[in-house]
Structure 1
Amino acid sequence: MTVRPDSTARDRRRWAQYLVNERAEARVYRELAGRKTGEERAILQALAEAEGRHEAHWLGLLGGEPGSVPAASTRTRMLGWMARHFGSIFVLALAQNAEGRSPYDQDPHATAAMAADEKVHEEVVRGLAARGRRRLSGGFRAAVFGANDGLVSNLALVMGIGATGVGAHFVLFSGIAGLLAGALSMGAGEYVSVRSQRELLEATEPAELDAGVLPDLDLDANELALVYRSRGMDAEDALTRARRMLHRSRTSGAAAAESGPVAVPDAHEVIGGAWRAALFSFGFFASGAIIPVLPWIFGLSGSVAILIALILVGAALMGTGAMVGLLSGAPPLRRALRQLLIGFGAAAVTYALGLLFEVTLG
C-alpha cells in the first residue's frame, strides 16, 4: 500500500493519532473481555474487532505502518490504565463518553460506516454499563448521598459554630456530635426509606394466577381480560390473551406461564437491600463528616482551621462529584464543580449566620 498522494503532513499526523487511539481502545475492550464470560465477553470482543477494522482503514490511508506514531490520547490511556486496575463499571462509563465524542462525523477521511459504528458503539457500551450501574445503584446512591451530606452538613456546622468565636474545644465537640447524630439519622432514614420502597414494590407486583380457577371462568364476562388490562394491556390484546389462556387451561389443564406478572425487571436490584443501604449511608456519612473536623482534632483553631477544613472538604466534594460524573457517563469536571459550589454555598450561608450571631451576642 502507498500513502494517498493528496494527503498533507497534517492529515497523516491526524490519521496516525486515530490509528493509535483505535489500537488502544481495542486493547481496552480485550482487557475487559478477559474478565467476563458469556454474552458480555462476546460483545466486548466484537467491539474490539470493530476497532480493528477502523485501525485497518487508517493503516491503508497511511500506506502501512508509519515510522513513528504519537502517544494515544490522554483519555484513551486513562481508559487502558483503569481497565487493568479497576472494575469494568468505571471503564465502561468512560468508554461510553469517549465513543459519544468520536470525531469521525466531521472528518472527511473517515467512512460513513465508521461514523455509524461509533454511534452504535456508544449505545452498546451504554447497555453494558447499565448492567453494572443497576447492580451498583442501591449501595452507591446511599454511599454518595451519605458522604456528600456528611461533608456539607458538618462543614456548615463547624464553620457556623466557629464563626461565633467560641473556643476550639466547643467546635470540636459540636463536630463530633454532628457526625454521630447525622450518621445515625442517615442510616436509620435510609433503612426506612429503602425498606418502605421495597415493600411498596412487593405490594404492587402482580401475583401468579391460580391455574385451578381458570377453567371455571366465564369468558364472556371477560374477568381474566380485566386482569391483563389492569396490568397495562389494551382491551383487544387483553381479550386475545385471556381467550388463549382459557383455551389452554381447558384443553390441557396446564397452568400457562403467560399468567405471570408483568413487572419491571431488576426493580429490587436497582433499589438495593435496606440493611446494605443503611450501613453504606452510616459509614459514608461518618467518613465524610469527619473531614471538616480534622483541623480541630489536630489542635488547630480559628481562621487557619476553617481554611484547612475548606480545602479538605473541597477536594472531597470534587472527588465525589467526579466519581458520579464518571459512573453516569457525564463530564466529571462539571459534576465535580457542581458538588463544590453546592457544598461551599451551604457552608457560606451558615458561616455568615455565625458571624451575625457573634456580632449580636458580642
Structure 2
Amino acid sequence: MKKHLMIIVKYFKTLYKIYYWIGSFTINILKFFVKPNDNLILFISFGGKKFDDSPKDIYEDMIKDNRFDGYDFVWAFQNTESFKIPRGRIIKTDTYKYYITALKARCWITNSAVERGLNFKGRNTFYFNTWHGTPIKKMGEDIANTSKSFGMNRKWDVDLMTSQSKYEADIFARVFNINRENFMICGLPRNDVLADRTVETKQSMMKKIGLPLGKKVILYAPTFREYERDDGFNCVIAPPIGFDKWKKKIGDKYVILLRAHYEVAKILNVKADDGFVYNVSDYPVLNDLMLASDMLISDYSSIFFDYSILDRPMFCYTYDYDEYAEKRGMYFDIRTELLGSSFDEEELLVLINSLNYDKALKKVRSFRIKYVQSYGNATKISLDTIFKKIKLN
C-alpha cells in the first residue's frame, strides 16, 4: 500500500506539490529544535532501496580509515530487515527517526537524494552527492511538462557533487540548480574497480555469478520507461526480443545476462533460459555483471558511460527511439555515438555475429574521451575531501 501511494505522489504533480510544500515546511521548522551532531554521517543509496553504488564504496573505505574513528555511521533503508552492514547502524526511511537523524547529521552521503522529495537540510550538514550516472535522457528542469517525469523547480542544496566529465557537471548544475563550482570532476567512486579490471577479475566474477567459462558474455541492460506501467502503477518493460531466436543464432558462443533497471517491477515477454539467458535483475552488485561480461547492449541507460571504462564493445538497441525521445527527451542521439541503432533484433544479431572488434573499440574510446574524462581514483579523492570539509568547523 505504501509503495503504491509513493508512486502516485511521485507521478501526479498536484499531489506531489501538496506533499512537497507541507512536508518541507514542517521539517524546516523542526530543525530549529534539533541539535546537530558533529560525529554523525548519514548514508542512503537509491532512496534507501540498496546498499551499493558509490555511497557503499565510500563507506567501505571510510570505516577502514582511522581519520573517521569515532564517527557514528548510519545507513537508511526502506526495508531495514533486508540489509546488514559492517560497523554502522540502520534506520528506516520516511520515519520520524529518519528525518531527525538527517537534521542532526554533519554529513550526508548519497547517490540520489536524502530529502525524500522535500526541501530541507540540517543546520550544520555537509551534503555530498555522487549521483548515480551520467545523463542521456533529460532530467530535472529540462524535462518537459508533458512528460510523466517531473521535478520541483528548486535549488538543490548540495555542497559538493562528483562527476565524470564537464558534460555531466554542466547539465547537473543547470537541471538541479546547483552552483557549477560545487562540482568535483574526479569520476564516480563506484567505477574505480572498473579501471582496475584484469583477466583474472573477469574470470573470478564469471565463477561468482555461475557462468560457463567457455562462453562469451553479453550484458543486456535496458533502462525503464516511466510511461509503461501496469494497473498497479508498477513499472514494466517489454522489449521486442525472442531469446529462443538468440539462442539459435548465437547460443554456441554467447550467454546473456539480462539486467533490468531497478525501477522495473516486471519484464514482460522475456523468459530466462537455463544455460543461456540469466535473469540477473535482482543481482545486488552491478559492477560484478559488468566485469564478467564481454560486451554491453543497452538503450538510453547511463550504464554506457560506466561500461566504457572497461574498454569493451557496446551496442545501442533503441527499438523505440522516436517514442522515447518524444515522451522523455534526450540530450544527444545515442545512435550516432555507438554501433547499433533502431535495429530490430535480427539486425542486432547480425551485428553481434559479424562483430568488427577494432571498429567497436574505436567507437567506445571516442565515446569515453568525450563523456568520461576522469575515473579510477574517485573514492580516495572523495574521502580526502569529505574529511577536510567536515573538519573545517
User: Which structure's residues are more often helix, by fraction?
Assistant: 1
Q: What is the TM-score normalised by the length of structure 1?
A: 0.21
Higher relative contact order (CA 8 A, sep 6+): 1
Larger-gyration structure (1/2): 1
Q: What is the TM-score normalised by the length of structure 2?
A: 0.20
